[in-house]
Amino acid sequence: MRFLLVEDNAQLAAAILDRLALDGHVVDHAGDLGTAQDFMSTTDYDLILLDIMLPDGDGRDFLNAQRARGTDTPVIVLTARSEVSDRVGALDMGADDYIPKPFDFAELEARCRAVLRRRTGTATNVKRFGDAEFDPLAGTLRNGDKVVSLRNRELRLLEVFFAAPGQIIPKPKLVDRLFSYDEEVSENAIEVYVGRLRRHLEGSQVSIVTVRGLGYRLAVP
């Protein structure tokens, strides 16, 4: 998953980035609303973690503007304000969840998972396609009796495919899902990770098919 973190506290932002990177997520960090708006204009995000008090404005104005444009990217508000009225106000503006500072990182991760499950309309982390069973939380892929433990980018790439089974996904989109702005990477890197996933899927009905000139899709016979 690709997240946008809008947080001006450099120490807290670094800690969040490190924690989410351990889960394999790609996270772009914006220290102010202007940078966040620039990121939003060029990239689609799966989730936004949004601070309220920022150097160039109020995060709630940013949230309100995004919802007014019809942007439905899930937003979790992070703020030191803990009054009920603040929480209600953020939720009424379109936030999907609210977590007061200071918070435990395990709780933040759990809230991210819960918000993303609600977005996809599922009550469980486990995803199934054909005879393959993918658990992004456990980081495993099961084919019958075969269980594979996935590395971070393998996991996130498979997550993209399982989110849109049967659909053609262009290489540039896969690059966008797996790598942040800070990383220099070529589209050939995707071929390496796709090759790894194909080996993991050997023996199952499910395969990753190359659609020449367009991209890849997760398919069953």
Q: What is the largest CA-CA distance in the chain?
A: 55
pLDDT range class, residue 56, cuts 50, 70, 90:
very high
Partners of residue 215 on adjacent β-strands: 211
Residue 183 confidence (pLDDT) above 90: no
Helix axes 171-178, 188-201, angle to 10 degrees: 90
pLDDT, position 141: 95
Average pLDDT over residues 25-45: 93
- CA–CA distance, 91 with 76 (Å, rounded to integer): 9
For CATH 3.40.50.2300, list the domain ranges present in the chain.
Answer: 2-120
Closest listed residue to residue 4, CA positions, set 30, 23, 22, 24: 30
- What kind of architecture, by CATH, is found in domain 2-120? 3-Layer(aba) Sandwich (3.40)
Closest listed residue to residue 36, CA positions, set 19, 55, 20: 55
Looking at the chain, the number of H-run helices and the number of E-run strands are 8, 13
- CA–CA distance, 27 with 5 (Å, rounded to integer): 7
Average pLDDT over residues 196-215: 94
Identify whether the C-beta of residue 78 lies closer than 8 Å to the C-beta of residue 99: yes
Return the SS3 of 14: helix
pLDDT range class, residue 122, cuts 50, 70, 90:
low
Cα-to-chain-centroid distance, residue 35:
19
For CATH 1.10.10.10, list the domain ranges present in the chain.
Answer: 127-219
Identify whether the C-beta of residue 73 lies closer than 8 Å to the C-beta of residue 94: no
- CA–CA distance, 36 with 188 (Å, rounded to integer): 28
Please say whether the structural domain 127-219 has been given the CATH code 1.10.10.10. Answer: yes
Is-above-0.85 flag for pTM? no
- CA–CA distance, 156 with 1 (Å, rounded to integer): 6
Identify whether the C-beta of residue 176 lies closer than 8 Å to the C-beta of residue 162: no
DSSP class per residue in 18-75: HHHHHTT-EEEEESSHHHHHHHHHH---SEEEEESEETTEEHHHHHHHHHHTT----E
Identify whether the C-beta of residue 1 lies closer than 8 Å to the C-beta of residue 25: yes
Average pLDDT over residues 80-86: 74
Most confident of 143-152, 181-190, 204-213: 204-213
